[in-house]
Amino acid sequence: MTNRVSYTLESTLESVNQAEKKAFDMAAGAGFVEDEQYHIAMAVREAAVNAVLHGNAYDPAKRFMVAYETTREALVITITDQGKGLDPDCLPDPLAPENLMKGSGRGIFLIRAFMDEVKIRNTHPGTEVTLIKHTGRKAANAKEETQ
């Protein structure tokens, strides 16, 4: 059973709020416990803020897309902007001493902490960030198959 919905949103903080709320609802519908629902929603918020702020630079002519897909094994959320692109290898380490006091630069770090898998792809132009949180059924299914 797969459920997929997608939205094209304006580059505004209101749209970020909408993406975060939908992520929370999708996580709840997929059976994640409350703490995981909040973690997933926060990861989506961080990725959406990055899309609006860093990717699209609040350009009203640019949009960002969010797709939510639930399967038996995972919740997969993809956020794509229309910006200049991002090279994840060039991101500064937020835990480096020179970066500890900076007010920004922890978004990708938090996303990676909250999700099981994070994939970042430059789409020329734009950046696609895929967030994956496994439901736990994947592990249970694998265990059943080995017995």
Instruction: Please report the DSSP string for 135-146 in residue order.
Output: -SHHHHHHHHHH
Q: Does residue 83 contact residue 28 with C-beta atoms inside 8 Å?
A: no
37 vs 84 pLDDT, higher one:
37
17-26, 44-53, 86-95: range with lowest mean pLDDT: 86-95
> What digits encode the pLDDT tens for the residues 56-112?
999 999 999 999 999 999 999 999 999 987 666 666 565 566 655 565 556 788 899
Q: Is the dihedral of CA 14, 15, 19, 25 positive or negative?
A: positive
144 has a pLDDT exceeding 90: no
Question: What is the separation, in whole angstroms, between the first and last Cα of the chain?
Answer: 24
Q: Does residue 69 contact residue 4 with C-beta atoms inside 8 Å?
A: yes
Separation of alpha carbons 39 and 58, rounded Å: 25
* Domains of the chain (ranges, CATH numbers): 3-146 (3.30.565.10)
Q: Looking at residues 102-129, what average pLDDT do you find?
A: 86
pTM for the model: 0.84
Separation of alpha carbons 111 and 88, rounded Å: 13
Separation of alpha carbons 58 and 138, rounded Å: 38
